[in-house]
Amino acid sequence: MNGSPEEISHYIWRAKYRLPDSDFALEDTWRRVARTLASVEAHNRRHWEERFVSLLRDFRFLPGGRIQAGAGTSRNVTLFNCFVMGSVEDSIPGIFRALREAAITMQQGGGIGVDFSTLRPRGTQAKAGGTIASGPVSFMEVWDAMCGTILSTGARRGAMMATLRCDHPDIEEFVAAKQTPGRLRRFNLSVLVTDAFMAAVKADEDWPLVFPAETVSGHGETVLREWPGAPKPVACCILRSIRARKLWQLILRGCYDYAEPGVLFVDQINLLNNLSYCERITATNPCGEVPLPPYGACDLGSVNLTRFVVAPFTTNAKMDTISLIESVRDAVRLLDNVIDVSQFPLPQQRAKAQGSRRIGLGITGLADALLMLGLNYGEEGARNAATEVMRIICHSAYRASVAIAKKKSPFPFFETGNYLQSPFIQSLPDDIRQAIAQDGIRNSHLIAIAPTGTISLLAGNISSGIEPIFAASYTRKVLDKNGQANEFRLTDYALSSWRTLVGSATDFPPGFTTAAQLSVDAHIDMQAALQPHVDNSISKTINVPQHLPFDEFSRIYDLAYDKRLKGCTTFRQNPITGTILSETSDADDAPHCCMLEREAD
């Protein structure tokens, strides 16, 4: 079916975010969300309700889907999109306790991330009971079945991220886990890649695969390793070794042929974690933009950059930075209030969210906004403009959080000296660091760039997150409230606006480019340009042409590591992974910027 910006927006609203007994128009939804999130204000609630309505109106700010669907309803749901679960204890009672917690979390609407590195490798014997382990991948099958059962109907898809350390003895099985059609389809997979592993790859050294010695029987050489759930490095048995380059090639070949697994540069994540003094991170939310500690949660929302472009498509086009700063200030307060309004599936999640008050304010519509400014996404001028916008948003968000802390108090886990020593905080302007030293800060983390697939459709099919424009026109599958897929024939928002402006159905504005036309370097360079102003992380899919040779593909991950990105996700069309976007011609050759599993609500 055809889908004008208004038609697709209305369809998404009805299918996912409308409360049938009270939301008779979009304005009612905005009012419901604003009133609920203003209700925790001790003073001037009506003032903040009006500020929040103004922020939401015309899709200037797009809260995460769980906020829009759940705020102000009587449903037993969480307003947080995703969680990272607690450490999975390596025992049958511990494993099924973790499964129960995951099921409760997903039943209330939260996607999950799970680090399976704590589970004994396949074939090893336990010291305590002598039982033979079936390995982490076998238990991932149980999680996958649970997810399919819990979310078997409706428009809300199950979303899970599984991670495994690059030195876990079952790493090869993990890398290949989704290469069998239909297997683990509700999981995204990511390998936790360390600096030591990358150094071993570069030096072409052997790479030991290890597991804590106190858990597995047998004797042999041991090494000290950080391990999930352990407060300090533990002695680990070297169970076997593999050539580092061989393992790296296995990982990259999986990415090339199957778009799985992703790669998380876990040492970079922990180095730049503002709370490195009190937590270690080994997993992320399902799309990777929020690295989280055990029981951490992501509280997401995105500024719609297309609404801040003044005089689009003219020589006078510019960003309205004054309005942008004002909107960021209100968005930080709105997302901070979500923490106090939301229900939580588990008490541990409430304690962690309220202790750190982590939020993830991001952007969407970047590619469309750049086009409206007359800039080509793949060129340096566009990257410079995007970097400046991200810098403004980041610094404005931090200043807003300090201002809230001055009125309401800093987040409970805040320790002035330790927090100020974080490398990311050290990179902020002097006035922000001085304000933090004096008044504290309300939120431990503030910036994350999510894929925003569905909420970008809600805003009229703007480009998603920081992704480039997929294509001029394309077909997109969208699930309705009964879980049925409906196809929409869509035109990019900025292109549609341009054609309305010039009165042509075929013209293209200066600077128009699509994901298929961009070089691999252009994708990486945009992500790298914005990362210095993002304290969480960025969900970005690097689109790869099907004909790109494997050797050139492998270079992507070296570039990502060298540019100190926190993670890297590529997509090269393949017969295993489903797609939700397709062009109307040459569909078999088109690189897809989204996958069904990575589509965010």
DSSP string for 19-76: -TTT-SSHHHHHHHHHHHHHTT-SS-HHHHHHHHHHHHGGGSEEE-HHHHHHTTS-S-
Q: What's the rounded Cα separation, in Å, for the pair 158 and 148?
A: 7
Does position 501 have pLDDT exceeding 50, yes or no?
A: yes
pLDDT mean over 564-581:
75
Contact assessment for residue 595 and residue 571, using Cβ atoms and an 8 Å cutoff = yes
Please name the residue that has the structure tokens 């015309």: 58
pLDDT mean over 67-71:
94
Q: What is the 3-state secondary structure (H, E, C) of 84-149?
A: ECCCCCCCHHHHHHHHHHHHHHHHCCCEEEEECCCCCCCCCEECCCCCECCCHHHHHHHHHHHHHH
Confidence tier at 588 by pLDDT (50, 70, 90): very low
- Full-model pTM: 0.94
Confidence tier at 575 by pLDDT (50, 70, 90): low
Which residues lie closer than 8 Å to 346 by C-beta, 6 or more apart? 101, 104, 105, 295
Q: What is the 3-state secondary structure (H, E, C) of 215-256?
A: CECCCCCEEEECCCCCCCCEEEEEEEEEEHHHHHHHHHHHHH
Contact assessment for residue 520 and residue 33, using Cβ atoms and an 8 Å cutoff = no
Does position 430 have pLDDT exceeding 90, yes or no?
A: yes
- Token pair in block for residue 240: 């076997």
Does position 157 have pLDDT exceeding 70, yes or no?
A: no
Confidence tier at 220 by pLDDT (50, 70, 90): confident
289 is catalytic: yes
311-352 pLDDT per residue, tens: 999 999 999 999 999 999 999 999 999 999 999 999 999 999
Give 212's strand partners: 236
**Average pLDDT of the chain, as a whole number:** 91
CA distances to 27, 58, 488, 543 from 18, rounded to whole Å, are: 11, 16, 20, 33
Which one has a higher pLDDT value, 133 or 413?
413
pLDDT mean over 499-511:
88
Q: What's the rounded Cα separation, in Å, for the pair 256 and 267?
A: 24
pLDDT of residue 464: 94
Does position 593 have pLDDT exceeding 50, yes or no?
A: no
Confidence tier at 594 by pLDDT (50, 70, 90): very low
pLDDT of residue 579: 52
Annotated catalytic residue: which of 260, 279, 289, 597?
Answer: 289
Letter string b/e over residues 268-280, b meaning 16 or more CB atoms within 10 A of that residue's CB: bbbebbbbbeebb
pLDDT of residue 590: 32
* Percent of the chain whose predicted confidence (pLDDT) is above 90: 78
pLDDT of residue 252: 97
Contact assessment for residue 36 and residue 22, using Cβ atoms and an 8 Å cutoff = no
User: For the chain, what's the residue count?
Assistant: 601
pLDDT of residue 125: 84
Does position 295 have pLDDT exceeding 80, yes or no?
A: yes
pLDDT of residue 585: 36
Q: What's the rounded Cα separation, in Å, for the pair 438 and 268?
A: 28
Q: What's the rounded Cα separation, in Å, for the pair 472 and 372?
A: 14
269-283 pLDDT per residue, tens: 999 999 999 999 999
498-499-503 Cα angle (round to 5): 125
Annotated catalytic residue: which of 255, 287, 394, 594?
Answer: 287
Reference 165, options 142, 199, 196; nearest CA is 196
CA distances to 66, 172, 369, 502 from 498, rounded to whole Å, are: 32, 49, 12, 6
287 is catalytic: yes
pLDDT of residue 351: 98
Confidence tier at 583 by pLDDT (50, 70, 90): low
Does position 448 have pLDDT exceeding 70, yes or no?
A: yes
Does position 591 have pLDDT exceeding 60, yes or no?
A: no
pLDDT of residue 3: 66
pLDDT of residue 183: 92
Annotated catalytic residue: which of 285, 337, 536, 543?
Answer: 285
* Percent of the chain whose predicted confidence (pLDDT) is above 70: 93
Q: What's the rounded Cα separation, in Å, for the pair 461 and 472?
A: 12
Q: What's the rounded Cα separation, in Å, for the pair 426 and 392?
A: 17
Confidence tier at 576 by pLDDT (50, 70, 90): low
Domain boundaries of the chain, sorted by first residue:
86-264
255 is catalytic: no
How many alpha carbons fall within 13 Å on the CB side of residue 19?
20
Confidence tier at 155 by pLDDT (50, 70, 90): low
- Token pair in block for residue 588: 């078999």
